[in-house]
Amino acid sequence: MIVIYKCPGCGAPMKFDPECQTLACEHCGTQMGVVDYQEKYGAPAMREETEQEKSSLAQGKTVETEVQGSRVERKSGETMQVKKYRCSSCGAEVMTDETSVAAICSFCGNSTLIEERLEGEKKPEQLIPFRITKEQAVESFREWTKTGRLTPKGFKDENKLDQITGIYVPFWLVDYNANIRVDAHCTKKRKERSGGTEYFYTDHFCVCRDVEARYERVPLDASEKMDDASMDLLEPFDYKELKPFDVSYLSGYTAESYSLTEENMEERGKKRIREYADAATKNIITGYDKVEITERTMQIDEIGAEYVLLPVWVLNYSYKGKNQQFFINGQTGKVVGSLPVSKAKKRIWFASWTAVIFALLWLVMEVI
């Protein structure tokens, strides 16, 4: 079933506005809160797939669809990777893969929400709505590119922004209990004076520490499409802005359902907790001149998980014929990605530091 939010003023599609935190119509300017819309007009407009569409898809028949000059084919007996819907605004075909729960019509720009992919265990418990608009995201990216000292000037100056898409990315927020035991061999030096003689001693200690730690809402992105390292770097998100899930917030954006279950994330989650615990216990033994860890044991137990959607702007940027992808936290504006390096600037930077080092060495030699 396809869901669309119609403007009560002019009938055009409404989208969620990050600045106003309301549904807004770009045509007549009508704004309405998510809860207000639901209370006043009830469920949004929906369109069922035709019986022919359902039958063809259920039987695994070959379906060919022209989409902007490209052809997508699914053969009988194979696992279907895409599915077609008709936009309820203009009637154009919208193609989605098996994990997309919201897509944008390429012809009219209307947001298509696929309700059946948000039911049962696939329904998120909460989400954080977008706070950063598309324009603000682009501005954050432009400012961020200026921080790269070795970034080519052309990359900063040329307007090569190909596409920016707002995506609600699926995450598991997982809670863990960690029990850590640390054993160490520690030494402390001291001196004593007896008469006119000083005596130096080294005392040896066997030290152990038992630590219990709780880690709450550790975010693990549950989409195979998204780069895990980039999603980790987008943190932190302010969980105070988590809201009960409502499809209204998805209007105007694309969204993904999880392709990795809570069980699939177990090893990755525990790996992060081990890293956190190692960092937390690194300086847990103090008061000694030398600390040598002899043994560290750790038990990590998952105690709960929550399925949520978090806002991310995905930005594609072309430079010298290559496409580069950057990610922007849709709540805070934090930018993640790798800036290109100018070879000329790199040579100048290396030469400058080489000159400084030689100058310092010359001064040292002169003093000696």
Q: Where are the domains of the chain?
A: 2-125, 134-337, 341-368
pLDDT at position 278 over 70: yes
* Higher-pLDDT residue of 205, 1: 205
User: What's the whole-model pTM score?
Assistant: 0.73
> 55 pairs with which residues across the strands?
none
Mean pLDDT of 179-194: 92
Total residues found in the chain within this entry = 368
E-assigned strand segments in 21-160: 22-25, 31-32, 45-47, 63-67, 70-74, 82-86, 93-97, 100-104, 111-114, 126-127
Residue 272's pLDDT band, with cuts at 50, 70 and 90, is very high
Residue 338's pLDDT band, with cuts at 50, 70 and 90, is confident
State residue 151's pLDDT score.
Answer: 63
Instruction: State the chain's mean pLDDT as an integer.
Output: 78
* Higher-pLDDT residue of 92, 271: 271
pLDDT at position 261 over 50: yes
State residue 94's pLDDT score.
Answer: 65
Round to whole Å and give the CA distance between 253 and 274. Answer: 35
Q: Which of 15-24, 87-96, 326-335: highest mean pLDDT?
A: 326-335
> 256 pairs with which residues across the strands?
100
pLDDT at position 30 over 80: yes
Beta-carbon contacts of residue 11 (< 8 Å; ≥ 6 apart): none
State residue 316's pLDDT score.
Answer: 83
Q: Which of 140-144, 234-238, 250-254, 278-282: highest mean pLDDT?
A: 234-238
Mean pLDDT of 264-285: 88
Range in 60-69, 241-250, 257-266 with the lowest mean pLDDT: 60-69
Alpha carbon of residue 198 to chain centroid: 61
Range in 70-84, 125-139, 153-167, 276-290 with the lowest mean pLDDT: 70-84
pLDDT at position 55 over 60: no
The answer to whether 340 and 154 are in contact (CB under 8 A) is no
Work out whether the CA dihedral 360, 362, 367, 368 comes out positive or negative. Answer: positive
State residue 218's pLDDT score.
Answer: 94
State residue 268's pLDDT score.
Answer: 92
Q: What is the DSSP letter of 282?
A: T
131 dihedral zone (left: phi>0; alpha: psi -120 to 50; beta): alpha
State residue 132's pLDDT score.
Answer: 92
pLDDT at position 32 over 70: yes
